[in-house]
Amino acid sequence: PAGNDFEAEDATIVQGVVAANHTGFSGRGFVDYTNVAGSYVEWTVNGPGAADLVIRYANGTTVNRPMDIAVNGTTVAANMAFNSTGTWDQWQTATVHATLTSGPNKIRATATTANGGPNVDKLSVSNTDSESPSPP
Ligand code: GCU
């Protein structure tokens, strides 16, 4: 299936900063969420299609950093787990399946606890049907 990578540092960032003070990220850096509930990263991805939304992240603490994943304002995964990856230099992925509509889709990952989100490197979108997602 076709795939596309969308760097977090190129997305809309609310209550977070672009950082590069750890290793192993793609692109220019990653988003360091402010340690507050409600901080988010929002990507714009063109549809349509059924898609796997793969979020690459690091969590150097021992505590889950859950986030709500929403597509066009509708939560598709509430309090999705972003568990410890061991250190801030070690990255893992968390995947949620969603259906994208035709044209631009807003994919938002919002921290739900006062710890904020994990560090987020990128979103990879793999369409699971015939259409390929593309940058806006
Ligand atoms: C550390 C780490 C940051 C991380 C932060 C956090 O400061 O260096 O990359 O974002 O912890 O707790 O969120």
Condensed to tens digits (0 to 9), the pLDDT of residues 42-90 reads 999 998 889 999 999 999 999 999 999 999 999 999 999 999 999 999 9
User: By alpha-carbon position, which residue is closest to atom 9 of ligand 1?
Assistant: 32
Q: Does 9 sit in the ligand 1 pocket, CB within 6 Å? A: no
pLDDT at 106: 97
Give residue 4's identity as a one-letter amino acid code. Answer: N
DSSP state of 89: T
Asked whether the beta carbons of 66 and 112 are under 8 A apart, the reply is: yes
Which residue's alpha carbon is at the smallest distance from atom 2 of ligand 1? Answer: 88
Give the torsion through C-alpha atoms of 57, 60, 65, 71, to 10 deg. Answer: -10
Q: For ligand 1, is residue 117 a contact (CB within 6 Å)?
A: no
Average pLDDT, the chain: 93
User: Maximum distance among all alpha carbons in the chain?
Assistant: 40
Contact by Cβ (8 Å): 45, 100 = yes
Q: What is the pTM of this model?
A: 0.93
The pLDDT-based confidence of 2 (bands split at 50, 70, 90) is very low
